[in-house]
Structure 1
Amino acid sequence: MRKAIRYLLITTAVVLGLLGIAVLGLYQAAQREPEFYQQAMRESTVDYAQAGNELEQSMLDLHNEVRSIGTWEAVFTEDQINGWLVADMPEKFPNVLPRGTQEPRVAIDTDAIRVACKFDNGKFTTVVSMLLDVDLTTDTNTVAVRVSKLRAGALPVPLKQFLDKIAVAARRGDISLRWRQLDGDPVALVTVPVSHEDYAHREIYVDSIELREGEIHLAGHTEHKHVPLLNASIQLGASNTVQR
């Protein structure tokens, strides 16, 4: 009996030791930060306020350019986006990020956008990261954003809870968003309205979105708003009636 108890104690100690090693390994894995995020957080050469202002100016220029009939294009850089995330978003849109999320950064490659941020729920702190593949779909003005490789540190994380947070953030930002699946990965479909009250008698079309090293290139065109023949006839008839 004594030997059996001794073996039981030894076995228990070994199991606890293995569990401790596993927990330590999981903790260390959860504390790992993506290399691009470490670099972005160390970046000291970027004037975030200036970069953020440049992004807002580029957005304003685009807003004005799409008012004119013809083609238009815009380029948004990685530094501009990160500058805006650091210097402008916390003050101007304090409630967009889910609770516990802070210090977001992006890195733009030719094939995907890498996104990471710190997440702190009061008990546990880690860096959450993911890949975003961006493509323009065949549906008018609809952009597909495929979400993959969600990690907390180096550990895979179930996507659902974070997708719910993204959906909430989209609603707060008044963004039209719906979800579908592609090879097991969730894909957010974001539709840019063709018509908007700010662009009277105009229709806005997005023709291409291209990722380049450190940049997002956007191009499209603006057309005169199509007036249905029936409405035009009614308007013409009303005009003739007034003239009589």
Structure 2
Amino acid sequence: MARKKTFIVVFSLVVALIAAITGTVYNATQQVPEFYTAALEFEPAEASETGEILEEQVFAFSNQVKKPRRWSLHLTDRQINGWLASDLKEKFPSLLPETIEEPRVAVRGKTLLVGCKYKGQSLNSILAVSLDCFLVEGQPNVVGIQLHNVTAGSLPIPIGKLVDEINTYAEKANLPLRWQQRDGDPVALITIPSEGSEIEGVIRIDALELKDGEILLSGQTLKTEAEKQKEAVLETQEEVVEAEPVLPVESS
């Protein structure tokens, strides 16, 4: 009888401990990061207005890079979130997986915070990840995205799971992706195309800068070697024409 009572007591304690841990874990997954709460605070009219501003800037930028010149793109996380709130679902309804809803971003110092609602079979939570974005030295137009912390609510998640999800999504989207390590963190390497059918030159990114609330991208579109040679030939021809002596006109 004493053994049976002891077993019941121990079993009850174990069940209580499991319940407490489960409850703690669940509560942790339901915590909402402060940056995500702030990023959701948008009136529909403001979201639409800031989304339109972002589209106008991106459209102007896409025209700038087509011609040989210097160019830059300056965006705020407020503009990005406005577009995500008002335009993403309407204009790109199949872009995100069914498990992902309401993605938002925030730039804190040099760190990019990305959050979203995740609705899976065994987990409903706010997923968040902190990233560093930078140009890879010695590799033209290669952007590195370093993954730091991944959380579901306030509960840490192994970064490897996020890497697997990113690889799956990149493969479906036909997005070339490479990985390397930096300070013990995985870094996704993405190569930005330097040429295109409508681009009259070669794109070179000079700077990618993040600071509180802002993202700045700058660079230039350079003339191709073929275009430089063509211009040199034309300049030579013009110089020859200018150097030719002008013969006097004989009067009859």
> How far is the alpha carbon of 1:184 from its aligned partner?
2.8
Instruction: Determine the structure 2 residue equivalent to 1:210.
Output: 209
From the superposition, tell whether residues 46 and 26 of structure 1 become closer, same or farther in structure 2 (CA, over 3 Å).
Answer: farther
| Alignment deviations for residues 128-153 of structure 1 (CA, whole Å, 9 cap, x no partner) | 00001011112000010001100011
Residue correspondence of structure 1 range 117-128 to structure 2 within 5 A: 117-128=116-127
Instruction: Determine the structure 2 residue equivalent to 1:161.
Output: 161
The 8 Å contact of residues 67 and 199 in structure 2, kept in 1 or not, is answered as no
Any stretches of 5+ residues in structure 1 without a counterpart? 233-244
Instruction: Determine the structure 2 residue equivalent to 1:65.
Output: 64
From the superposition, tell whether residues 73 and 102 of structure 1 become closer, same or farther in structure 2 (CA, over 3 Å).
Answer: same
The 8 Å contact of residues 96 and 172 in structure 1, kept in 2 or not, is answered as no
The 8 Å contact of residues 179 and 187 in structure 1, kept in 2 or not, is answered as yes
Instruction: Determine the structure 2 residue equivalent to 1:178.
Output: 178
Using structure 2 for the length normalisation, give the TM-score.
Answer: 0.84
Identity of aligned residues (%): 32
Instruction: Determine the structure 2 residue equivalent to 1:7.
Output: 6
The 8 Å contact of residues 104 and 115 in structure 2, kept in 1 or not, is answered as yes
Q: 1:48 aligned to 2:47?
A: yes
Residue correspondence of structure 1 range 133-148 to structure 2 within 5 A: 133-138=132-137, 139-148=139-148
**2: distance between equivalents of 1:165 and 1:225?**
38
For 1:47, what is the secondary structure of its paired residue? helix
Residue correspondences, number:
229
**2: distance between equivalents of 1:143 and 1:215?**
17
> How far is the alpha carbon of 1:228 from its aligned partner?
10
Instruction: Determine the structure 1 residue equivalent to 2:22.
Output: 23
The 8 Å contact of residues 96 and 173 in structure 1, kept in 2 or not, is answered as no
> How far is the alpha carbon of 1:26 from its aligned partner?
0.4
**2: distance between equivalents of 1:144 and 1:197?**
25
**2: distance between equivalents of 1:54 and 1:176?**
30
Runs of 4+ in 1 over 6 A off after TM superposition: none
**1: distance between equivalents of 2:172 and 2:95?**
6
The 8 Å contact of residues 143 and 191 in structure 1, kept in 2 or not, is answered as yes
> How far is the alpha carbon of 1:123 from its aligned partner?
4.3
| Alignment deviations for residues 95-140 of structure 1 (CA, whole Å, 9 cap, x no partner) | 2222310011100122210010000014431000000101111200
The 8 Å contact of residues 42 and 82 in structure 2, kept in 1 or not, is answered as no
Instruction: Determine the structure 2 residue equivalent to 1:86.
Output: 85
**2: distance between equivalents of 1:46 and 1:213?**
24
From the superposition, tell whether residues 172 and 115 of structure 1 become closer, same or farther in structure 2 (CA, over 3 Å).
Answer: same
Instruction: Determine the structure 2 residue equivalent to 1:236.
Output: none
> How far is the alpha carbon of 1:158 from its aligned partner?
2.0
**2: distance between equivalents of 1:186 and 1:123?**
26
Any stretches of 5+ residues in structure 2 without a counterpart? 231-252
For 1:227, what is the secondary structure of its paired residue? helix
For 2:226, what is the secondary structure of its paired residue? coil
Instruction: Determine the structure 1 residue equivalent to 2:76.
Output: 77
From the superposition, tell whether residues 78 and 192 of structure 1 become closer, same or farther in structure 2 (CA, over 3 Å).
Answer: same
Using structure 1 for the length normalisation, give the TM-score.
Answer: 0.87
The 8 Å contact of residues 205 and 220 in structure 1, kept in 2 or not, is answered as yes
Instruction: Determine the structure 2 residue equivalent to 1:238.
Output: none
